[in-house]
Chain A
């Protein structure tokens, strides 16, 4: 039985070898003095025994009395570790440095995050402002025991924010901010007209401000004033506001091929393995020479390297796929549908805001050179108004007069 664990830990224990002298006498005296001995093993004139470090002085004097020689075998426990430590101050220093480093690092803010704001620029601005007020990665944590002053300072620095809340959790700080909702766009004050942006037939006129100069059914040309900002013959000028919905015609010419060449992989392939030494390539595996009508090769090279240095010796695998080409035929009907789809896409992508397609008609379908040629006329309804500086109604007043 070894001495109890705690005793080895704190008191320390010694294992020694006694020889010569009156070992029996020492044992009996030890018993008489109440000294605990552990793992006592007698082999001839030698005796191995373990005792607690606190009992050792007595054991030593008893051994002296009985003429027993002591030879130490092993030492266990904290006192010996302490002595070992004293012999190696650098270890102690390292441990101290570690503790110090841990203490220093844990008393710093490591991360500042911003939440509650979507705008990335604003986030950066908040981080910047926080840094200026004293909240940044590396700032001492003790500063933020009370964050009220920081919140106030941050709010003062960032007038765009409505509210700022700072929570410091461990070594991370989170700034929660609420942005002021920006005020509605300032009302336009510069007087202006609304003119037609493209040739169209007016369908509806919604004049919110200004005088409507056109009426439904009227054909307008680009540049023609639709809603005038000039009131009372130009005595008073206002920014014209409103919408003019008009029917616009788009003519599109489309060609859709009826025969589409297709190439596809058949699934057949062969593999060739090469060993590359510098610029040399030696084929090691895969000698099949298939007779493919068309083929597609894909190369895959290993990148063996030591550190960042690419080895001159590399493995390359080349895969040759069989390619088969075929032709896909479309019926004329499908080609027409496709043409209409293409035209719709094209028209909707034209500038001029939202459009509603009123109708499409296919004109002059002809099939030539294996293609379907069509002209498509698309009628859309859209807002054709565009802002323009006020056009004083002097000479042209009489032209547009009836609409007013």
Chain B
């Protein structure tokens, strides 16, 4: 009888194993022709067009200024400095679907974040913290990487699929927007996305003739000033540990012909003007 039981077990395993294999092969053949892979960032891209993303960015931005009352800083010297820095970076992005809009906000935090549609916000405190325009460029390059890799979109999609599942969203527009806003500024990217962005940023910096070591310099200063995760540095919360980022930035192989071109900006006076 034990022999029968064993045979039964084999039958069961063969049935379910075969079923699994059957569906795997079925899906494999079914999706082989389509270039998008489900659930991955390419799939998000497929699901959420660039136009929609840019529209959403506009809506969130309008909401943030009106309802959350974030103060956008208007200051000629820093605006033009930002334009100089960002346009040098932007020139090196191969093909971009985004028209970047970078804004400076009044905030006590050292903070930088992106919302969908290529909108980047940098806090005044972060600019004051940067020792050189190159360091600001490093932060910007990192944020640009989040935009180009569409991390914001995948984050929103992920958060909101879950929210919808648990019916958190009650349906009214303001509630939805407030949730969207909170998601974009508070919830963080995962470690993999951060590393991906760091690598992209270093590559972009190198192409733009800015030393990728600026990232290391920025984080060294953070360490020097002993800013803990929970103190002032909100945007670094989920980011890989500062030391490992310094290490990676220092280990990044810069090509032989690389020549850094410094920015022609009077950084000190720009900061004083803020």
Asked if A pairs with B, the answer is no
